[in-house]
A and B are shown apart, each in its own frame.
Chain A
Amino acid sequence: MARRRPKAATQRALTILKPLRDASERAALESILRGHGNAMQSGGNSALRDAFDAIEGLHYLSWFVIDGVESASNPGAFEPPVLVLEANFDGAEKAFLRRLAGNAATKALLDEIYSRCSGYPVPGSSAEFTAHCLALGNSRPEVFYVARPGQSAAQLKEEARLAAAIEAAVGSLGEPYGRRLEHLRRIWDRLGSAQRRLIPNAPMKPFWVRHSLREQPLKAVFALVALLAVGGLITLALIGLDALGAPLWECLVPPRRVADAALCAALVLAALAGAGLVIWALFHVIEAPKDIRLSARVRIWGRKFRAIFRATIRTLPAALALVGVVAFLSWQGALLLHWASYVVLGLLAIALLAGLLLVLVAMRELVDGVDGMAWDPAKLTRLSAREDRGVQNHFISVTPVKPGRLRQAVLRIVLFLVNLLARVLYDRRGLAGIPSIHFARWQLLDGGQRLLFVTNYDGGWGGYLGDFVATAAFGMNAIWGSSGGFPRTFYLFFDGVKDEQRFKCYARNSQQETLFWYQRYPELSLAAIRRNAEMREELARLSEHLAPGAAPAAESELDAFLRRFAVPGR
């Protein structure tokens, strides 16, 4: 019997901001973090790496320091710099923080770092209290993007191991002989029993990933029809209850015409089904196989009749739902239309408001200042030195938000929509078609004065920013168009990042140095992660066809799977 599959993990983002007690501590703190970060990255501090590896569910973690903002109470003076802890992990925030503070090595690191920050307990406090104090500085990002929703860090590592095992099994195939399904059987048999158990047991993906509107727009229509069908079934139930004399509220009693409509629909459906069955039987009689024994004829006809009878019976719920939909529409159709007209009017009003906002933004764009194309060579050298040490990179940017309520409102609306659409229109190829982002977040700081962007990505900085220009200019303009000094946009969505050199210069100038960065799976690019997951999914799906009596697998699927390893067909 099939057991329930594990639930998908929920990835979360943590952004803990803790101001330094004194601005003069900044250099010392940065030095400490840089020292630990460099040691861990270069393999010099394996104990610390092991400690982070032991924290269940952690994908990435980084520390960096950003400048304080101008003091509201004392204009001209600045608040102390802020230490930012940014992490991506699986599960609940509190549990994660408890694990972080509960590990001796990471707790020691926390004490060492946060002893210079306010809002942190005295070193040596309990893990529970430390986690609580850290959580107080946490704030949620406005946009949080996850490339592989539902895939926990453990699952990513597990899939990498499974992929290696599958590749090894394929490698040992030798000269392929026979059908593709036979190749697959041999590969399956060469895997260990633990691996064979693991492969079909991938956790279920989240609902919005399984039913991405971008990939299955018809599913949305289908969902609406399903909702309508539920209404239809309820209507039929009410008709039945009313006919049986059950006491119902008056508003729940369908008028007589609804029952008539249901009956009419049922009769039409029955007539159509009857005609279909007659045609089916007629053709079977005309084309019945010749020269066969009566016993064989009876056996074959029996099988055919059983199949059509079973299919007819199984169709009854769908037919009932269809009858119910007709009844429901004859009862509440006018009301539905009424509400639909409100929805349409509402959407029109929103579109009008959006157009008005865009015009206002466009008027401001004409006078907004734009940064020059100058950068600090020393900063650039410092930042570049920490990049391209492996497959993955880390990028942090802090930009000032243009002043004024209009900009604030527009930016918040844009961030809300980006966050929503990234889920509803989930694109497995990547955020807005950018295939290299593992995690990304946009977060408003200091009440909306600054915009923080943090991302873990694959490949080089230039190519990554180039992807922004090539495939996601629309969205990037909408988000950063409200940032001070950003290349001039046109009606918020246009131009902007298309001035590529100026945009890259702006991005460099707003970039913050990553002082400490932990990666759970530094060797895995997103392409590899996708490939590993696909390999597992495909093999799980195909392995169902290996069972005795199972339906044969589609040759295209077998072919696609084997071609991953360049195994020729038959």
Chain B
Amino acid sequence: MPERNASQSGPVEGFIDRIVTAAAEWATLIGASVVDWGYFFLMRRPRLLRTVAGVGRRWAPVFPLGRHKLLFRAEDVHEVLERNDDFLLGPINERKVRSGDFVISLDPGAQYAEEKALIREAFPLDRNDRVYGIATAAAERQLAGLPASGALNLVPLMERVTVQVVAEFWGLDPRQARSKVVRMPRGAGLDEGAETMRLWLRKLAALIASRDPAPFGVMEVGHACADEYVRYVKNACEAMAAADPAGAADTVLGRIVARRPRTEQAWRTAAGLIVTGTTVVTKAFTHAFEQLVGNADALKRATAAAKDRDRQALERLMMEALRFNTVFPMIARYCPRNATLASGTPREAEIPADSMVAISPAGAMFDPEAVENPDSFSDHRGLNFNPDWISGAAGYAIGNHYRPGRDREDAGRMWRGIYMHFGSGAHWCPADGMALAEISAMCGAVLRALPEVRIKAWLPELLYRPLRYDGPAVWRLKVRYG
């Protein structure tokens, strides 16, 4: 290690710098709390966010924020997501992912390719169907035995569905989970391990979906939970590997442990996969469900589809509903070197090295240049899934024309779709089909179990939100039924 400080400053300059830095640090602490709260306020109000994004798209499609840029147009958002070498995700996520390097904290390279190959091996081909089945059964169990009418907070119920998916599909038994950070809710018949896992996943979702450093203690809680969670996954993997990896159950965790001789890589990948694959599902469901219930016509069609157990119709409805309040309304990418964006267009912009680019899928999905009648709710828009990971299990053909040999422009046209909930480019979520299957299963079960479901909004969106948040994760969605 170096023995001396390499910075070039004298003692007087150092003293003045310290004074100024201290004052700036204080102002940053105060200012950041205001900015963070303002950011949360905007992100939790989809209508307001759409308006802001619309103004941005029209008048300042590349909005400068000091060195950083905000982008609202679909074309630019796609460009950023697809230029993996110039706009990196790794530096954004690497400090958040406490389990060590994993695909969302890596940029395309040798290790990234290896991690992705491991995930590909671990995913079964019928993964979407399996998740749908597990989630449907779990949701129906959660909603069974309710009175004919009343009020209900859907969030913990759906979080428990997610925990069930973690146990049955991912293969991580939550029963032994214990925490010194999260608090067990009071209630009869609740399993401590499952409840701990549920709260861990919520806290980890808050960490992953938040900026770094996350404000208001979200980061501290997230990191503390992540440490407990990673330790738990590590122990589970080691126990599985010690028992008989070859004979492990046909779950994702079992497949990873069986295929990897290095336990460290197994638990690192498993921990990352489970978090990214499950934690934002509840948020996606609540966001989509709130929008669905707010649209009488869509709700009617969804109720019919739920009764008919028409999974494809439900998926289309949920995907469209999610467009009106997407899970990641803003996504950040890091620009390590100077780059030109939207080259050759009137909005061409230079992005300097060491700057951030914040792209707005919420704005892009309402870009009239990319989406027909963007403001109307339509479940007839084409679904687009990660073309590199299509399993064919659900029968979708859209997007699987992609061939790596094609030139970038052609490939881009094939890849691109209307919906950007799961990203695009190299970091397009490989579990998009599973996530959609899971939220559709939840939605179907809720609509079947709760007649005349409604959400009461007492005041306009600007003043009141029926969705309550724990950091960036959803904490409460109270519905009335019957």
In Å, the complex CA distance between A197 and B181 comes to 43
Pairwise interchain contact A296-B224, C-beta atoms closer than 8 A: yes
Chain A residues, CB < 8 A from B181:
292-293, 296
Interface residue A199 (Cβ < 8 Å from any Cβ of B)? yes
Chain A residues, CB < 8 A from B218:
287, 289
- Main SS of chain A's interface residues? helix
A314-B26, A543-B2 are known contacts. Are A552 and B109 too (CB-CB below 8 A)?
no
Chain A residues, CB < 8 A from B179:
293
Chain A residues, CB < 8 A from B193:
none
A178-B111, A317-B19, A321-B19 are known contacts. Are A207 and B336 too (CB-CB below 8 A)?
no
Pairwise interchain contact B112-A560, C-beta atoms closer than 8 A: no
Pairwise interchain contact A541-B7, C-beta atoms closer than 8 A: yes
Pairwise interchain contact B110-A307, C-beta atoms closer than 8 A: no
In Å, the complex CA distance between A279 and B29 comes to 11
A279-B34, A300-B221, A301-B217 are known contacts. Are A315 and B23 too (CB-CB below 8 A)?
yes
Interface residue B199 (Cβ < 8 Å from any Cβ of A)? yes
Pairwise interchain contact A555-B221, C-beta atoms closer than 8 A: no
Chain B residues, CB < 8 A from A315:
22-23, 25-26
A300-B217, A537-B6 are known contacts. Are A289 and B470 too (CB-CB below 8 A)?
yes
Pairwise interchain contact B26-A287, C-beta atoms closer than 8 A: no
Interface residue A570 (Cβ < 8 Å from any Cβ of B)? yes
Q: What sequence of 0s and 1s flags, for each residue 272-310 of chain A, a beta carbon within 8 Å of any chain B beta carbon?
A: 000011011001101111111111100111011001100
| A544 touches which of B6, B36, B107, B202 (Cβ 8 Å) | B6
Pairwise interchain contact B5-A290, C-beta atoms closer than 8 A: no
Chain A residues, CB < 8 A from B260:
none
In Å, the complex CA distance between A568 and B206 comes to 32
Pairwise interchain contact A552-B336, C-beta atoms closer than 8 A: no
Chain A residues, CB < 8 A from B95:
552
A279-B34, A292-B182, A300-B221 are known contacts. Are A3 and B216 too (CB-CB below 8 A)?
no
Interface residue A5 (Cβ < 8 Å from any Cβ of B)? yes
Interface residue A311 (Cβ < 8 Å from any Cβ of B)? yes
Chain B residues, CB < 8 A from A202:
6
Find residues 195-247 in chain A having any chain B CB closer than 8 Å to their own CB.
Answer: 196-197, 199-202, 204-205, 207, 210, 226
Q: What sequence of 0s and 1s flags, for each residue 89-120 of chain B, a beta carbon within 8 Å of any chain A beta carbon?
A: 01100110000010000111111100000000
A178-B101, A311-B25 are known contacts. Are A570 and B107 too (CB-CB below 8 A)?
yes
Pairwise interchain contact B220-A300, C-beta atoms closer than 8 A: yes
Pairwise interchain contact A175-B216, C-beta atoms closer than 8 A: no
In Å, the complex CA distance between A558 and B107 comes to 14
Find residues 36-50 in chain A having any chain B CB closer than 8 Å to their own CB.
Answer: none
Interface residue A556 (Cβ < 8 Å from any Cβ of B)? yes
Interface residue A559 (Cβ < 8 Å from any Cβ of B)? yes
Interface residue B466 (Cβ < 8 Å from any Cβ of A)? no
Report the contact-size class of chain A (Cβ under 8 Å from the partner): 35 or more
Give the segment of B8-16, B229-237, B319-327 that binds chain A: B8-16
In Å, the complex CA distance between A115 and B109 comes to 70
Chain A residues, CB < 8 A from B88:
555, 569
Interface residue B56 (Cβ < 8 Å from any Cβ of A)? no
Pairwise interchain contact A295-B37, C-beta atoms closer than 8 A: no
Chain A residues, CB < 8 A from B475:
290-291
Chain B residues, CB < 8 A from A176:
109-110
Pairwise interchain contact A543-B215, C-beta atoms closer than 8 A: no
Interface centre among B20, B29, B202 (most CB of A within 10 A): B29
Find residues 16-35 in chain B having any chain A CB closer than 8 Å to their own CB.
Answer: 16, 19-20, 22-23, 25-26, 29-30, 33-34
Pairwise interchain contact A314-B22, C-beta atoms closer than 8 A: yes
| B25 touches which of A210, A287, A314 (Cβ 8 Å) | A314
Interface centre among A284, A294, A569 (most CB of B within 10 A): A569
User: How far apart are B322's CB and chain A's nearest CB, in angstroms?
Assistant: 24
Chain A residues, CB < 8 A from B180:
293, 295-296
Interface residue B203 (Cβ < 8 Å from any Cβ of A)? yes
In Å, the complex CA distance between A330 and B1 comes to 51
Closest to A272 in B: B30
Pairwise interchain contact B107-A200, C-beta atoms closer than 8 A: no
Pairwise interchain contact A318-B33, C-beta atoms closer than 8 A: no
Chain A residues, CB < 8 A from B37:
283, 286-287
Closest to B40 in A: A287
Interface residue A547 (Cβ < 8 Å from any Cβ of B)? yes
Q: What sequence of 0s and 1s flags, for each residue 527-553 of chain A, a beta carbon within 8 Å of any chain B beta carbon?
A: 000000000010011011011000010
A296-B180, A303-B220 are known contacts. Are A556 and B30 too (CB-CB below 8 A)?
no
Interface residue B471 (Cβ < 8 Å from any Cβ of A)? yes
Chain A residues, CB < 8 A from B7:
541
| A540 touches which of B2, B110, B182, B206 (Cβ 8 Å) | B2
Pairwise interchain contact A568-B20, C-beta atoms closer than 8 A: no
Pairwise interchain contact B4-A288, C-beta atoms closer than 8 A: no
Pairwise interchain contact B36-A283, C-beta atoms closer than 8 A: yes
User: How far apart are B355's CB and chain A's nearest CB, in angstroms?
Assistant: 8
Pairwise interchain contact B30-A544, C-beta atoms closer than 8 A: no
Pairwise interchain contact B10-A570, C-beta atoms closer than 8 A: no
Interface centre among B5, B26, B36 (most CB of A within 10 A): B26
Chain B residues, CB < 8 A from A207:
10
User: How far apart are A308's CB and chain B's nearest CB, in angstroms?
Assistant: 6
A556-B354, A560-B353 are known contacts. Are A200 and B23 too (CB-CB below 8 A)?
no
Interface residue A499 (Cβ < 8 Å from any Cβ of B)? no
User: How far apart are B128's CB and chain A's nearest CB, in angstroms?
Assistant: 30
Chain A residues, CB < 8 A from B221:
289, 292, 296, 300
Chain A residues, CB < 8 A from B220:
299-300, 303
Pairwise interchain contact A318-B23, C-beta atoms closer than 8 A: yes
| B336 touches which of A3, A289, A555 (Cβ 8 Å) | A555
In Å, the complex CA distance between A554 and B88 comes to 13
Listed A/B pairs (21) with beta-carbon separation below 8 Å:
A2-B3, A177-B111, A178-B111, A199-B2, A280-B30, A283-B36, A283-B216, A289-B216, A289-B218, A292-B221, A294-B183, A296-B182, A296-B224, A304-B217, A315-B25, A544-B5, A547-B2, A552-B95, A559-B353, A569-B85, A570-B112
**Chain B residues with a Cβ under 8 A of chain A:** 1-10, 13, 16, 19-20, 22-23, 25-26, 29-30, 33-34, 36-37, 40, 85, 88, 90-91, 94-95, 101, 106-112, 179-183, 185, 199, 202-203, 206, 215-218, 220-221, 224, 334-337, 353-354, 470-471, 475
9 tightest Cβ-Cβ pairs between the two chains A and B: A556-B354, A540-B6, A314-B22, A318-B23, A559-B336, A200-B2, A287-B216, A276-B30, A555-B91
8 further A-B contacts with Cβ under 8 Å, apart from A287-B40, A318-B19, A570-B90, are A177-B109, A200-B5, A205-B8, A210-B13, A279-B30, A301-B217, A304-B217, A569-B85
**Chain A residues with a Cβ under 8 A of chain B:** 2-3, 5, 175-179, 196-197, 199-202, 204-205, 207, 210, 226, 276-277, 279-280, 283-284, 286-296, 299-301, 303-304, 307-308, 311-312, 314-315, 317-319, 321, 537, 540-541, 543-544, 546-547, 552, 554-560, 563, 568-570
